[in-house]
A and B are shown apart, each in its own frame.
Chain A
Amino acid sequence: MIVKNFKLLFRNKESAYTIIFGPILIILLVSFAFMGASDEYTVNVGTYVPEVTDLSERTIKTLNKNNYLVSVYPTEETCVSSVESGSTHACLVFSQEESGDETVPITFYLDFSRTNIVYQLLDDLSAEVDIQADAIRSQLALSTLQRMETAAIIVEESYTTAKSAAEQLATISGNLEAARGALTNIPTRNENITDLRLLKGYHHGLAQNAKTISDLVNPIFDEARAALHAMETECGDCTEVVLNQAEAVEDKIEEAETEIYRITEETTDKQLQEADLLMRSLIGEVEILESTIRNATTSGVVITENVDASAADLDNNVRAVEQVVTKLAYAKDFLRGDDLDADTITTPISTSVVSITVTDDTLSFAYPYLLMLVIMFIGMLLSSMMVVTDKISQAAFRNFTTPTSNAFYVFISFLTAFILLAAEVIVMLGISSFFIAQPLFLNPLPTFTLISVAIVLFTFVGMIIGYLSNTQEAAMISSISLGSVLLFVSNLIIPIEGMTGLVQKLTALNPYIVLSELLKKSMLYGVTTGQIVQQLLVLAGLLVVLLFLTALIRQRMKKKYFKQDEPVLVKMHIPAPLRLGNTYVYGPVDLMATLDKMTREEFTELVQKPNNSIAQWVAKELRLKVLAHRLRTTSKEKMILRLDRYLKRHGKKLKR
């Protein structure tokens, strides 16, 4: 039974090819796709740098060095769009506010729908940024240490200055204490000064007396002077002599007045003696005072000198202190830096990750791929099975012979599969909506357009497989094989970036990738129909091509269907019988029996012709050239003998 099964399997060439070579082909294709690939994917990174900084330059340089393909975009929007469009895997946006030693914010825009690569990518990029952060961290630590060293030197210098100032201040303090002592020794009061007040009283009495005399005499002198003046004025006739006399009188009066004044001033002798005594006493006092003042002056000079010295020291100290203050302020500023804090040192670069998708639901990320996967497999399997079932059915002959055009038949078959598949997809979407928060209706027009295009496309592909297959098994395995190849060289299982360069380029032609990426954009990024109209037009063109291709293949299948008897007719050889008298001979067994019954005369008449009709017949009709060669004899017995030997050797193979 096993032998029978194998024979049945391998005698159906298509099944044999599909079963044996299908899996081998898949493995070969997949191996080819990933041959030479490594875990280090070629990752395209977009960057937006509003202001070129050392960090941004270094980061881009490092990324380039580590096999990242870095593209710099002019705006943040174009950078993010590049991730949406798939031309880059991530967009790194450096903040415009970055400056000095502050923490630098970098935003990663990532496509989290690419679940099979995004976290690896995030890790890789974070590692790259961490390298930069480490460098900055080291730089900041070094800078801090340098500042502390500088501050220590400044503080040390300030300490010396302050110490010196303290010593000087101590000296000033001593000097001032001495000045205070000196000031205490300067006399502030003399008792004998009272006597000078008394002397002032005496002198006042004398002055009063003299004034009394003066008061008495002065009116007289005034009257006399007035009289003389009147006489000089009124006496116009007065001679010169008279006038001179009057003037002489007046001079005398004036001398008298002066004398009286002098006397008044000189007062009495007693008083003068007393005054003299007092004056002598006063002089003594004044001499003492002069001595005291001389002493005080000496002390004042000393004090002044001390104070001057202290003032000078104080000035120096003030300058020193000011210097210390300045240095300490500098040290403070230097240590503090530009608000350098612990966070800045430990986390010099702050990264934030932003998803470009409209949803954060992880399942939703995979949903477009899974939906397209289901459409691809069901579409191809359903349509291929439907077509092949129809093709190998009894009704195929009548379908091929009716006047219905190929294109119409293909279209109707397609429509049937489309309706079925569309219904299945609607059911799937309905069921999945209970389990997955799929953002199907966020962008319904492009989403449903793409789903429809996918159904149409994979239905046509399945139909082509169906028309090219002759058995259901072959159609099924072919569909699964093709689907598997399309699946393996897609983003769903292993990232495309892990494939070899040529295969990566070829994947652009993989309809599963193209459609699932577009569906993802529609469902997760919310792209509009207008944004994908170009791709839709290309797909529409492809669908038209597929329609004509399917019709063409059906046309060829129709021709092939009526040619299926050809191989049978070509291979089938029905040997014409050999007529020997009234007997028809069909094979060696018949021939030997007929020869045996044949009389010598009959043999001579029928066989022994110039060309030996038996040998010719055996060669031409039975196609037994060796036997024909042996039968080229004129003896009936020899012919029977040779036939008998031949039959004994090959008899089992011969029917008669």
Chain B
Amino acid sequence: MTKEIRLLSTSAILGYGFPEASLKAGMDRQPHVIGVDGGSVDPGPHYLGSGKPFCSPIAIRRDLRLMLNAAVRANIPLVIGTSGGAGGAPHLDLVAGMAREIAAEDGLHFKMALIQAEQDKASVKRRVAAGRVHPLARQPALTAEIVDRSTRIVGMMGPEPFIEALDAGAGVVLAGRASDPASWAAAAIRAGLPPAPAWYAGKMLECGATPSIPKGHDCLFVTVREDHMECEPTNPARRCTPLSIANHSLHENSSPIHHIEPGGMLDTSDCRFDAVSDRAVRISGMRWNPASQYTVKLEGVELAGYRSICVCGTRDPLLIGRLDNFIASVRAEVATKAAAFGASPDSYQLGIRIYGTDGVMGAREPLRDATPHELGFVLEVVSQQSQEMASAVLGMARTNMLHTDFPGRLCREGNMAFPFSPSDIEVGPVYRFSVYHVAELDDPAEPFPIHYETL
């Protein structure tokens, strides 16, 4: 009999939701493993820095409960990578805590593996000192100072820690930051299938039903065999087509043909996408080139300040006609008044985002000279001093946007419409990416310790 493994992914991220009927339809096809990706770097640096989840705990709990019940009752493993959105220690703790509560409430019993991905600063500095950390995407070399300044650093694990946890008999594997396809590649490689279709399967499964049309957050069923894999959404309202699969093969990667992963490179130059039905697609022709040196990506963020924002808009054509001068006047007034209460110009950044001219594309906007009938503004202040100071400077910016005079002004009661009271919002600490590097490893599992517990 042909060797195959069947894998069921419930959605693109734990907490995005999926129809219960899609999960049932997938379970009816007797998958060997069920799972979901828990997060992404895509929502930006905030979640890794703050330790907060990307999806709401209420939404995560709903998805997790359905998946735990399905997996435990069918006696198949449940595997989740990048738990809690960013995959740091607090994110993994949150999801692990939920799993414990759901197990107690629903009478489920299983062995749970928790794979940590948060890296202590001393170990990262040792790797840097040994010359075994290299920058990605034209970033500067990593230094001990950058590591010390960082709020939190995670390593992006490959399949090896998942394989170790599954070999140890874990029924539920919750991992911190992981390469998105790694948990799925682990399941297929562990079943004795070659890395090329295993990794490709992961690339499809990590986004749930995203490779199907109509695109949506739903379940995807993948069958991996020796030299190909097949993709099919479990919801009859969706289907995979060669175009939908080809489109997804381009998702969030810099090259469509060379996909760098821990331990090697997936080469998709010669892939074929063939319809096997009007809803399922077979992908073949992928190759795996093992790397001479095993590497994992490191991601880290540092505190950039504290942000306060305010939303407003104008419908005044006289103001819109001379906006550049007006904004310059407001900036000058804010600088003077903020300095007077102790916010020096180099201690904060004032952003005045203008929706209607270049709010979406910034300096890359080619149509910035169009004249709209109304403009929306997002005022923001990031203070390096404190949240309180960010709000103080923002208040000054808001007042001056509202009341600053300009030549020819008729709207003498105010320049801006504010949709909310209060108008000003404290956003909290702001983070920026500080670490985006790869670390060479001798043992792919070494930075990712596994803790087991029986529920």
The reply to whether chain A is a binding partner of chain B is no
Residues of B within 8 A of A (CB): none
